[in-house]
Each structure stands twice: as structure tokens, then as C-alpha cells.
Structure 1
Amino acid sequence: MEIFVFLFSLTALGVLYTMNNVPELQEPYVILQVGAGVLVFVFLVYLLMAWRNPPKDLLFFAFAVFSFTCVIDLVSALQHDGWITGFMEFYQKAGEPYLGTAYGIMMCYWDGIVHFILYLFMICRITERKDYRIMGLFWAGSLLANMSIFVTGIVVGKQGSDIRPAFWLNMPFLLVPVWGAISVFTSAKSKQLTGGYNAMFVQCMRLIWRPQDLMLVLLALAAMAFTIFRGLVALDAPLEACTIYLKQYEPYLKDPVGYPRVMMLHFLFYGVPLLGALVYGLVEPGCNWMPDLSVFFAGAMAQCQFAHMGGSLHSRTMAPYRIPGDAFLVVMAANLVYVAIPQIIAMRCTENPNFFLTVSSFPGQTGLPYSKEKDTLITNKIKSS
């Protein structure tokens, strides 16, 4: 099935080429109607294909339809960067001109490559009746962060006064990841949630005796501080440190397109609490929500930082807002470490989840070694002696 989805998605090239060469299809409201009609048609094609053997997971249809649009996004990015021509001129003028911004181009690259690969893999897993939880959570975090920043940035940025009807084609891509995240978070886990002796042993150890987790906690706290600082910069805080950072390190945060500022506010109001939750989960044993949350957050941060770093370096960004040459290495290193922290935490939580499992007691035991209460077995033994 994934091979058919891949091949059928390539037919988006024909749709784009036709619309680009038929003037009657290039009016703003016509673009909206044709775009909505194409999405419905693609959905019906996959619905008819799966009629006899319907997938158990309805997200299959969302992944299949979105695979089609991934090709459109990749073509958009390639044409804006001058690699190809003849497909998207009509959409650049009468569709969504803000896709030509540095952030819009980098966003389309991420969607056209990373999301497309994820869709094909998840479709394969659904077809084979296998679990795709980690990929699904990473995708949901990535697309939800992507679209929430993109849609908000359109409205508050300099393009906000020139919104065309095709803007409303973004709504399904904003709402579906919410449904996808809820669906994946609430689905039954294929891995165990209850641990035995190994989990009990790990959870007995305080943070100081877990150097890997201690280092991750310190890195997460540093990421929280960096997030708060850049949020203050985006909010025009009059602090001298904020002014220096904005002028000498990341002037891109004040790019009038609006996306960098919106992203920093997303990080400030959503990223900081999520990082705080990850710190809590690394300190307090038995937080079985940690693996899922860490993967979801890793997906969001990966997409955001890719678009942010790429946008700050892209030629479409005006020269005064690009990273200054003498601060390039420092800024890039800070951003790379910043995006790596959630990825490392997610890998730690998924590859060795013993610390996050709910520990079941042994027969005859009413207390647990990491509990604040004394072990009742030892207490009873002392009393009997």
C-alpha cells in the first residue's frame, strides 16, 4: 500500500502543472475550490481502495492524503529556491505568497521530506497491523508545532494584510494533528507499563547516582533558561542582555515576517512547561507518561528549530536579520545543542523506560523500596524477633 501511496502522491505534479498553465484555474477563490476538491478526491480514492479491507486506524486516510500534499510542499520549496520552474507560479501570486518567506520555504522542505517519509512508514505499519506509536507521536508534535506557528505567523506578520482564500486550506493540517495526538496518546501501548525487579532497582536510586539522568536534568534546565531568555528578547524586554543578544547574535528574532517572534512565544508559553514536566519525570520515578511526552516534544522541537535555523540563514531573509558572521558559530552551536536536548531525552526515555514504569510489588510485599514508608516485611520480621 505504501508503494501505491508514494506513486499516487506524485500525481500532484500533474495537478500543479495543469493549474499553472490554465488561466481559468488561477483566480484566488478558484484555487481554494480546486484545492479543497483535490483533497476530497484523493480521500475518496483511498477510501475506495480500502473498502474491502478497511484499516483499523482511521489516521491511515489522513496520512495518505497528507502524503499527496507533501509533494506539493516540496515542489513549492524547490521552485522558490530556483531549482525547478513551471509548477507553482500561480500559487505564489494568487495562492499563498507567504510560502515564499524563508520560514515558509524551510517549513515546506521539512514537510516534503521528513513528514513524507513518516507518512509512508506509518502507512506501512498500519497496513501490517503493527504499532507506530513513536513515529506517530513525533509526527503529531512536529506538524502541530509547524502549523500553529505558521498560521499564527501569517496573521500577525507583515503578510497579515494580504491573506488570500487559499489560507483556509491550512485548517485541516492544523486540526488533524490535534486529533492524531489525542488518538495516539490514548491508544493502548504495545510495551509493558509495569516493571519488576529491574524497574524497582533503578527507581531506588536517587538522581545523584544516575549520572546520565542528572546530566539530562541540567541540560533541560539550561534549555528552560535559554527559552525564557529568547522569549524575553522576542517580547522587547529592555534588559541590556536582551538588546545585546538581539543586535549581535540573533537579529532574526525581530524579522518582520513574524514567524521567529511567534516561535519564541510558543517556546516560552508551551516549551518551558513541557521542559519542566520532563525534568520532573527524570527526578520522580514511575512517571509512565514520560516516553510519550518526550517523543511528542522532540518532534515539535526538531521541526521548529530546523525552520528557525534554516530561515535565519536563508537568502530570502533580509541581510540585517541574518546571523552576523562573527557570531555564526556561537549561535549555531547554541541552537544545535538546544534542539539536541529533547531528542536525547526522548531516546533515553524510550530505549530504557524502567525508571518510568509502574512497579508492581512482589507477593507478600506491601511496601516498595523507593517508598517513603518502611518495608512492612522488614518491620514485621523485627517485631517477630
Structure 2
Amino acid sequence: MTTIVFLTSLLAIPISYFMNNLFSLREPLVILLVGVLCLLLVTLIPYFHIRKRPTNNTDPFYYALGIFTFSSVIDLIIALENDGIIDDFMEFYLREGEPYLRTSHGTMVCYWDGIAHYAMYLIMLAALSWNQSYREVGLYWAGSIIHSMLVFVPGSIIGKHGIKWVIFLNIPYIIIPVFVAVSLLQSRPKYKESIAEKEKKKTNWLSMLKDLIHRPVDALYIFYFLTAAFMALIRACAVLGSECSLFKSYLVHIEPYMADDTNYPKMQMLIYFFYFTPYYIWMTCLLLKRNSIQKSWVVDWATIHAGAAAQAQFCHIGSSLHYRTPYSLRVPQSPVYCSIFWIINLMLLVVPQFFMVYCRRQIDPIVEVGDSDISKSLKAMGSQASLDAIDRLVETATKNKMIALHSK
């Protein structure tokens, strides 16, 4: 299974080359139709391969992975062509299809999709082939790609390049990840309840703050989330053109890339403020109370946020350094401002990854609470009535054996 999808994704290389060199595609609507045909092709190849199997209980997501892996290779080709590493593969697409992919943000999005997302697809394909769960990787990927689309699509629509027909090719990359994320969240495994969870006690805010002294790791994460929420406010006000000297100074001296006219950094900062900030406050409230993060749904959302934060910061930092960004908008040259830039952005990149791991370690190993057939059987075998029944069976068998020997 994995091999078929992997080989299908590599078709992106000859297809893009032949389309660029053998056909004159100048109409955006024609490019859209060709793109749709290519996506159908890479979906049908795995489908017909699976149909030949005697037993077909394949996860439907397997067919969608054909589309995503193919697009990842296409995006890697676009990124490499933007940086001049290769040539004559996607020139027609960048010229007439999605010219906004030539921007620094578009290039970094393509690098992330062509490398990070592609690696996630291969991991999920391997898990499907071995009948293993891809839930953790799936949630991380869903957070990453949904966030990517939340910034990329609105930024492209309101940006200087305008709307073209080809933008509708992004629809599957919005709808499918949402369905996958919802499906994975609904199939959440059950965990053992901690003793603290079973014996909940009402505590006031003062006692919770005092209790933080004995939980330094939780206190550090609370400090991070409050700092991140404050930074989201500063960045949002800065990109919205606030006249406050603090926000103007931050925009001019620390992160001038946020003033880029592509509008991608503006969308990124608004996503941080309207979507990430409620998550920061939510996690802060949970961390204040002992053992509150020992819940499976907290782990799920920490995983989704970690994926989103990784994609956001990779693209933001990369775009701030990329040569396609005007020199005046790149990372500041002043040692002080440059240090502040790296501290803020690396903190927003790294800490969510550590928090995801921290939450995962706080919960007990996965144990189904519900009575499955196996657990019911084990419980029945350990009951006193079952032990008495086994003793009677052994006693009856012994008597029957003695009677048989006596008759002989």
C-alpha cells in the first residue's frame, strides 16, 4: 500500500515537467481543469490497486493520501524552483495559476508541505499498512495543514495578486483535514482516571496559586501561555496599524516583516490573536488546578496546537529571512532587536512541542475503561463463582476417571 502511494506521488515530477514544456497552458481555468484531472488520477491509482485485494477494509483516508503526497511533491518542486535550484518545471503554474506562491511566504509554505507534511504522510501510510493507529501524527498534521490554509487562502484572496480560478484547487486541503481531525477527535481512546480526578475537591484561586510553588513546571508553562497571549495582542495591534508607540516600535524595530504587503503576516498575527489566544487562556486555567491536564482531550488539543505552531513559526521565521522579502523587512540587524526577535519566535515554536510531550506524559497508559469482551472474560475468570465452578469440574472429572479405571 505505502509503495503504491509513494510511487504515485513521484508522478508529480514528469507531469509537471511535461505540462511546463510540452503544453502551452495560459488560461487559469484550463490549469484548474488539468489540476483536477491530476488529482483524480492520483486518487484512482491506489483505489484500483486496493480493489484487487480479496479483503478490502481500507481506511478511506488512504485514498486521500494519494492526493496529499502528490501535492507535497509538487510543492517541493515549486519551492526549489522559486529558489533557483531547479528550473522548467512549474513556471506555467507560477505565472498563470498561483503567482502568490512566488512570495517568501508561499515558498516557505511549499517547503513545509514538501518536507514536513510529506514525512507525516509516509508515517501515516506505514501505520495504515501495518494496521497501526496514526492518530497522534494525524492530529499533528491536521493542526498544521488547517492552520496553513487559514493563513494562506485568505491572505491570497486579499493580497496584491487577486483571485484566480486555480485557488479552488485548495478546497480538498481544507475540507479533508477538517473531517480527519473531527474523526480522530471522536475516536479518542479512554484513559484511567487519576485519583485526583475521582476525588475532586473545591479549591479557591488562592490555594491554587500557592500549590503552584510545588509544581514549577506547570508554573513555567503558565508563564509561557500568558506571555504568548500578551505577544499575540501586541502583534495583532501592530499589524492593524495601532498608533500606540509600543506597537509601532515593535513593528518597525523587531518584526518589520509583519508590514509586508502580501498580507500573509497580517493574517498570521490575526490567527494568533483570535484562535491561539483563547487556547493560551484555556491551558492557563487548566494548569492552575493540579492534575487538570491529565485528560485525553487536553492531549489532543495540545497536539493540534503543536502542529499549527510549528507550521506557523517555520513559515514566519523563514519568510523573515528569505531573499524574496524586501531587505528592509527582514530580521533586524541590530543585535538587541535581533535577539528579541529570535527569543520570541523560537519560544513560540519550541514550547508548544514540549508542552505536547509534557501533556502526553501526564496521563496514564492507555487502558480501555469500557468492558470489552476480553476484559469481561478476565473479570469473570477471577470471580469466586468461576473458581468454584472450576473446582467442581475438576472434581467431577476426577470421579469419572476413577469410575473408568474401576470398571476396567
Contact 1:298 1:346 in 2 (8 A): yes
In 2, Cα distance between equivalents of 1:40 and 1:359? 42
| 1:48 paired to 2:57 | no
CA deviation map 1:71-97 (0-9, x unaligned): 000000000000001101111111111
| 1:299 paired to 2:307 | yes
Contact 2:191 2:365 in 1 (8 A): no
Partner letter of residue 350 of structure 2? A
Q: Which moved more, 1:284-293 or 1:97-106?
A: 284-293
Aligned-residue offset at 1:202: 12
CA deviation map 1:18-54 (0-9, x unaligned): 1001234443221111100110111111111122343
- CA-atom RMSD in angstroms: 2.5
Contact 1:2 1:120 in 2 (8 A): yes
In 1, Cα distance between equivalents of 2:186 and 2:212? 30
State which of 205, 222, 225 in structure 2 corresponds to 1:220.
Answer: 225
CA deviation map 1:148-171 (0-9, x unaligned): 1100000112122xx222111111
Contact 1:281 1:287 in 2 (8 A): no
Aligned-residue offset at 1:199: 7.3
**SS in structure 2 of the partner of residue 194 of structure 1:** coil
Q: Which residue of 2 aligns with 1:75?
A: 77
Q: Which residue of 2 aligns with 1:368?
A: none
CA deviation map 1:291-333 (0-9, x unaligned): 0000000100100110011001100011221122112232022
Q: Which residue of 1 aligns with 2:358?
A: 348
Cα distance change, pair 196–331 in 1 and its aligned pair in 2 (3 A): closer
In 1, Cα distance between equivalents of 2:212 and 2:59? 40
Aligned-residue offset at 1:55: 4.4
Partner letter of residue 272 of structure 1? T
CA deviation map 1:223-266 (0-9, x unaligned): 11111111111111111111111111111111000000000001
Aligned-residue offset at 1:344: 1.3
State which of 332, 336, 345 in structure 1 corresponds to 2:346.
Answer: 336
Q: Which residue of 1 aligns with 2:167?
A: 167
Contact 2:155 2:267 in 1 (8 A): yes
Moved over 4 A (4+): 196-205, 354-360
Q: Which residue of 2 aligns with 1:37?
A: 37
Contact 2:8 2:42 in 1 (8 A): no
Percentage of identical aligned residues: 37
Q: Which residue of 2 aligns with 1:176?
A: 176
Partner letter of residue 265 of structure 2? P
In 1, Cα distance between equivalents of 2:171 and 2:134? 25
| 1:316 paired to 2:324 | yes
State which of 135, 153, 158 in structure 1 corresponds to 2:137.
Answer: 135
In 1, Cα distance between equivalents of 2:12 and 2:67? 11
State which of 239, 246, 260 in structure 2 corresponds to 1:241.
Answer: 246
Within a 5 Å distance, the mapping from 1:12-161 to structure 2 comes to: 12-51=12-51, 52=53, 53-160=55-162
Aligned-residue offset at 1:123: 1.2
The count of residues paired between Structure 1 and Structure 2 equals 356
In 2, Cα distance between equivalents of 1:23 and 1:56? 37
In 1, Cα distance between equivalents of 2:21 and 2:170? 24
**TM-score, normalised on structure 2?**
0.82
Partner letter of residue 293 of structure 1? W
CA deviation map 1:316-361 (0-9, x unaligned): 011221122112232022100122121111110112225999999x
In 1, Cα distance between equivalents of 2:269 and 2:368? 35
Segments of 5+ residues of structure 2 without an aligned counterpart are: 371-408
Cα distance change, pair 256–50 in 1 and its aligned pair in 2 (3 A): same
In 1, Cα distance between equivalents of 2:141 and 2:40? 22
**SS in structure 1 of the partner of residue 171 of structure 2:** helix
Cα distance change, pair 333–357 in 1 and its aligned pair in 2 (3 A): farther
Q: Which residue of 2 aligns with 1:260?
A: 265
In 2, Cα distance between equivalents of 1:290 and 1:131? 19
Segments of 5+ residues of structure 1 without an aligned counterpart are: 361-385
Structure number, greater radius of gyration: 2
Contact 2:4 2:46 in 1 (8 A): no
Q: Which residue of 1 aligns with 2:11?
A: 11
Q: Which residue of 2 aligns with 1:289?
A: 297
Aligned-residue offset at 1:287: 4.1
In 1, Cα distance between equivalents of 2:10 and 2:365? 45
CA deviation map 1:202-230 (0-9, x unaligned): 99994332211111111111111111111
Contact 2:26 2:92 in 1 (8 A): yes
Partner letter of residue 320 of structure 2? S
